[in-house]
Chain A
Amino acid sequence: MAFLLPTLVLLGGFLFYPLVYGIALSAHDSQGFEPTQFVGLDNYVRAILGDAVFHRSLLNTIVFTAAAVVLQTGIGLFLAILVVGVRRGRTFYLVAFFAPFVLASVAVGAVWKYLYAPFFGIAATVGTALGFDTSTVAPLADGDTALWAVMAAFLWRFAGFSMVVYVAAIQALPRDYYDLATLEGASWSQRLRHITWPLLWPQTFTLVLLSTIGTLRIFDMVWIMTAGGPAHATETVATHVYTTAFRFLDVGYAQAMAMILLLVILLLTVVEYRILNRRAEMVSS
């Protein structure tokens, strides 16, 4: 117990105290970074009823998260199955797909900005080589495509994480199931559907939870690539909170939006946990 004390002191000072202070701040008007007048839930009402940018940012965040969780998990599983299937050079593939995870978001964002750049970006170069007119192609500058362009960079960076988790899990699966299934004539897709996928449910469960929490907070890659633009097409709650607090110094209001984001995170975590855990328990029993 005494050995846990340092961690609890750190969290008390730099997590729970700021959390309580943040709740208080979100119920106040503010002047600069100082809270002034208590306004109750006014900031929350303003965000929920009166701020179109906040609505857009919340929608973007949830859409981005939903798509990213499904795609990151799906691509991760797909890559894992391919990697486990090869006999030689498995380490090379693990490293290749996982390497983007250790790169800084600032660098990933900047590199992908170049990939998408008009005229000399890879999308434009390949398109021109194939004979298309690509002079107007600029995925990050187009409100319809910008969010998905950020998503591609995001998936490139994080799919390898899901992959290594699945690879480790698949390697730990009992071989007899597969031998028996093969003996009884089960096809590759049947084995995947009836053995691999159900047995990997505990990992899927954890990955979905982790990526949901990790994606709802998304700030840095969006900030680097688009700063929320064009015209809020890629605005997430976290970028909107940052801009509101540090550009417009509307601090109490910014914190109210941050608290709403925290509530969304908590709510989705609990809901996902309930739904997924039921199935995970079925697998382990």
Chain B
Amino acid sequence: MTGLRRLRWSTVLLVALALVWLYPVVWTLTNAVRPTADIYRAPWDLAWPPATENIGAAWDRGQLGAALANSATVTALTVAIVLVLSIAGAYALTKLRPPGRAVLFMLVLAPLIIPTEVLIVPLFSMFRALGLINSLPGLALVNAVANVSFATLILTGYFRTIPRDLIDAARVDGAGRLDVLLRIVIPLARPGVLAVSVLVAVLTWNDFAGALVLLQDPDTFTVQLALTRFSTFYATDQGLTFAGMAIVILPPLLLFLVLQRSFIRGLTAGVVGR
């Protein structure tokens, strides 16, 4: 009534923590548009106005244009593969009955407890024998394995919410199973499909271990590998490193900011249960 709202200690704490949490992100982005000398002089300032000279230099010296194209290729391929496999897989899993379903579920979820990190050596050997080292589609396949399980899991959750009657009615009307999937299931589960796409895109864009092992030729480097090029400049030019990092983190960050609602909902759907 008085207009003076009581400020609770928990709100103050929350605001302080949020600012601390955001600081490294904001600082990275602002340092990307500062002259290198400034970063040395006052490293913790959030300086203004922007100076874009390091952005151009990082773009050239880190060969970021080519790296962005490579990352975009791997990401697009991975998302496409994972979407096709997980939509089809989740559809099959929601229709199957136990005990067959339990066994197949276990198989599909196996990648969750068998991480890529314990298979990098055999994967490298295998890819070398197949001539898939330096192959962007090859890397996409490895990323697809790492992502297909939780994608299927999340989509199964969404598909379960679709009323059976709807599907049965369409079947009675003579629709094939593929028709049902394309015309009924996917449109009704669109939020889930969007969430899975964004999640897989971000995780693939950020993949480091797989790219480190499977891409040897600098021309095939993804942005994450290109970033490590700047670490040789570590002592000499921080400005380039920050500019490079800003370029690389911006696409997933923007995607997240625009789609944060469906991103978070998709992520929590599998864990919380809907």
Binding site for B on A (CB under 8 A): 1-4, 6-8, 10-11, 14-19, 21-22, 25, 33, 79, 82-83, 85-86, 91-100, 102-107, 110-112, 114-115, 120-122, 125, 156, 160-161, 164-165, 168-169, 172, 202-203, 206-207, 210, 213, 217, 219-220, 223-224, 238, 241-242, 245-246, 251, 254-255, 258-259, 261-262, 265-266, 269
Contact = CB atoms under 8 A, between A and B. Distances in A.
Nearest to B84: A6
Contacts of A6: 84-85, 88-89
A17 B115 CA distance: 14
A16 B255 CA distance: 33
B40 A93 contact: no
Contacts of A161: 267
Contacts, number: 244
A93 B91 CA distance: 35
Given A4-B104, A104-B208, A99 B253 contact: yes
A83 B117 contact: no
B92 A17 contact: no
Contacts of A7: 85-86, 88-89, 108, 148, 152
Interface of B: 8, 10-11, 13-14, 17-19, 21-22, 24-25, 27-28, 40, 43-44, 81, 84-86, 88-89, 91-93, 96, 100, 104, 107-108, 110-126, 128, 141-142, 144-145, 148, 152, 177, 181, 202, 205-206, 208-209, 212-213, 223-224, 227-228, 230-231, 238, 241, 245, 248-249, 252-253, 255-257, 260, 264-265, 267-268, 271-273
A10 B28 contact: no
Contacts of B145: 10-11, 14-15
Contact of A219 (B28, B89, B209, B228): B209
Given A11-B108, A164-B264, A107 B248 contact: yes
A1 B28 CA distance: 48
Nearest to A236: B117
A6 B88 CA distance: 8
Contacts of B116: 217
A106 B247 CA distance: 13
Contacts of B110: 11, 15-16
B21 A102 contact: no
Contact of B85 (A2, A10, A121, A242): A10
A2 B96 CA distance: 11
Contact of A241 (B11, B121, B224): B121
A254 B93 contact: no
B85 A104 contact: no
Contacts of A15: 110-111, 114, 119, 145
Contact of B206 (A19, A33, A104): A104
A219 B146 CA distance: 15
A245 B121 contact: yes
Contacts of B228: 106, 224
B257 A95 contact: yes
Given A22-B121, A114-B43, A17 B267 contact: no
21 contacts: A3-B181, A4-B89, A4-B108, A6-B88, A8-B104, A15-B110, A21-B125, A22-B122, A82-B17, A86-B14, A92-B18, A100-B25, A105-B224, A110-B245, A165-B272, A203-B272, A219-B209, A246-B213, A255-B121, A258-B121, A269-B113
A115 B238 CA distance: 12
B142 to A, nearest CB: 6
Contacts of A16: 110
A25 B249 contact: no
Contacts of A21: 122, 125-126
Contacts of B115: 213, 217, 265
Contacts of B148: 7, 10-11
Top 9 closest A-B pairs, CB basis?
A3-B92, A22-B122, A3-B88, A217-B115, A18-B122, A104-B206, A168-B268, A96-B18, A220-B208
Contacts of A224: 208, 228
